[in-house]
Structure 1
């Protein structure tokens, strides 16, 4: 194991640099080749191999509670969602949310999702211009689903989208002249993100008040009325949970759908195979989650002194798990840089592990399945029309533009 060779700080700076957003994997490879990297001056340890990232995610002392970090925090979301809590608080909140987020709720959304996709693709057929797969499909679909789940009027979708995009940046690490922050709120965009967070919280409080007066069959009404042994969610807990669903559920699903579309377009044989056989969708989605995950890195805090291999992480130190590097680890995967839905087995950490496994994973998979099968079946000869562009986000890395020629390459 190497903890000091190379220049990990420079490599981390390259990773955060938007110039590497389109293809960060060479940088991830260089970091992975260093092994676990201890940066005690920043109270930070980097993990980039599959085995180490999985070990940290499963470790009983690995905490998601940012208050336990030795690095100061700036809260822009208000009270944290259960994503950033540990047991027993996490267990209680997740149990209550799960009661309102049962599988039948997700399954019942399938006809609505199919109708939304059909409408978006019909719009795409009406023009001879290249189809913009982000703004035309990958982005509007998840936000429409989230709005329907929460009972949010679709007329408010533009404000929701803007808030989601800004708040997603809060998960990014940041390098300054004085050190590395994993709080994600140290740069010049903090004020805009704070304003977006405050706007969203006020909006959700008003929506909760309306749902208390006039409950419906939406998820927010379910969260208001959910009970487990006499327990309930407070208004602040409902607001924090809805924040989580919007940011984590929306942005990550956009990334999953668009990353899968791009990988398929770059391998026309795989695009044609899915167009001919919708049953391949599950394999395509799982391989996308490995090959080009929408969540590129995760943060954990050492809730107690931890030993990973021969490295000791002091209590309160931050651990940055570079999932995108781990998913290309040659010790864990054959030909890891190849997009191959036909792998004998596909495993990944894209939805986390253990008690923090993503509660929205079934919905994300369903949305991606419906979108990809419909897109490839309707346009079996589609091709890239131009080079895709990327947002600046590091943690929730994703494209801002993905133009497609729906009828295939132009002569």
Structure 2
């Protein structure tokens, strides 16, 4: 596809951009923007008709300049202030989450998911309500794929409205929500909506990444053994493992100024999807792209986006994934089923395993 069809039309509308060089250029192309087109149910003109559209008008992934920068600056400042010192408790939390596990369990549902939810609750400054967090996260991710029915929009609106109420700043609060309030640069609604954004990035993508890294290592037994034996560090191997098997595969842009690209006319309002997963495996960007090489320079360049379109929560995501994997490594994790039989969620733009059975062979494994 990269060689013969670098710009592919999609059945649901828009085009998929697959080459690394094109994806790289698209991050800074001023002819492209973030804000939904005027034809989308998420367009700003629909703020009064939909919670989803109103929320999109408050979070950077759906905003163009200058409002994009006006919100990203205080969000980024609050995030990094909250993130400082989180490595001190993430590892202990991952260990604690493993303490009650049986010798065999589903690493997604039984460990990585609950760990991510507890970590995000603490990071945001919320009570750990697993159901609320799961529904809030799912509702946010619905907005990154085409919404094709009124019922889907109604469900997203209901879940997002509930999440907004839970994320509203309160006096004496802690975590990211309180840090955003302390900036004095965001309204309560903007704080709640950006808390939902950070929450969503910190659950499904994290639990998926833990499973995907284990699957990637399983395909290269020597690397798996080096990692389990401590000869290959978790932080050292993680960027390359995520390049090879990333949970986030696609991010959207929208054409702001009509132009020709690869012989195709892109009109104003056309969705353009950047295939990060394809860019991560492009031989023009990486020598021997299918090979695991922990010594590569900048292997994670397309895993979390680039520049103004990079994920603000990337440092926390890496730290959470590393903490979960290190806890598993210390207890001798291994797959308890066949890697080629793993099923994935049917989710546009994401690669999320539904389940991954594992076993613990270390001395601390229960059961």
Shorter-normalised TM-score: what interval?
Answer: 0.7 to 0.9
Instruction: Give 1:352's aligned residue.
Output: 305
Instruction: Give 2:110's aligned residue.
Output: 136
Contact map agreement 1:168 1:396 (CA 8 A) in 2? no
Output the aligned Cα RMSD. 2.6
Of 398-407 and 261-270, more deviation after overlay is shown by 261-270
List aligned pairs for 1:242-321, cutoff 5 A: 242-277=195-230, 280-308=233-261, 310-321=263-274
Q: Distance in 2 between matches of 1:347 and 1:164?
A: 24
Aligned length: 351
Residues 195 and 339 of structure 1: is their aligned pair in 2 closer, same or farther, counting only changes over 3 Å? farther
Contact map agreement 1:69 1:317 (CA 8 A) in 2? no
Deviation of 1:302 (Å): 1.2
Contact map agreement 2:16 2:273 (CA 8 A) in 1? yes
User: What TM-score does the superposition give when structure 2 sets the normalisation length?
Assistant: 0.86
SS of match in other structure, 1:277: coil
User: What TM-score does the superposition give when structure 1 sets the normalisation length?
Assistant: 0.77
Instruction: Give 1:171's aligned residue.
Output: 144
Matched, 1:89 2:67: yes
Deviation by residue 1:350-383 (Cα, 9 ceiling, x = unmatched)? 2111212111111111111222122112216x23
Deviation of 1:165 (Å): 2.9
Q: Distance in 1 between matches of 2:231 and 2:137?
A: 31
Deviation by residue 1:99-123 (Cα, 9 ceiling, x = unmatched)? 2122x53231112211111112222
Deviation of 1:222 (Å): 1.2
Residues 185 and 354 of structure 1: is their aligned pair in 2 closer, same or farther, counting only changes over 3 Å? farther
Residues 161 and 370 of structure 1: is their aligned pair in 2 closer, same or farther, counting only changes over 3 Å? same
Deviation by residue 1:212-250 (Cα, 9 ceiling, x = unmatched)? 3xx2332111111213xxxx2111111210110111232
Q: Distance in 2 between matches of 1:118 and 1:43?
A: 45
Contact map agreement 2:251 2:276 (CA 8 A) in 1? yes
Contact map agreement 1:69 1:301 (CA 8 A) in 2? no
Name which of 77, 97, 103 aligns with 1:99: 77
Instruction: Give 2:343's aligned residue.
Output: 389
Deviation by residue 1:3-48 (Cα, 9 ceiling, x = unmatched)? xxxxxxxxxxxxxxxxxxxxxxxxxxx4764221357x97622211
Task: Flag structure 1 segments of 5+ consecutive residues without an equivalent.
Answer: 1-29, 173-182
Q: Distance in 1 between matches of 2:207 and 2:192?
A: 22
Residues 273 and 279 of structure 1: is their aligned pair in 2 closer, same or farther, counting only changes over 3 Å? closer
Name which of 185, 200, 205 aligns with 2:163: 200
Name which of 42, 65, 81 aligns with 1:73: 42
Task: Flag structure 2 segments of 5+ consecutive residues without an equivalent.
Answer: 44-49, 363-367
Contact map agreement 2:304 2:314 (CA 8 A) in 1? yes
Instruction: Give 1:407's aligned residue.
Output: 361
Residues 69 and 263 of structure 1: is their aligned pair in 2 closer, same or farther, counting only changes over 3 Å? farther
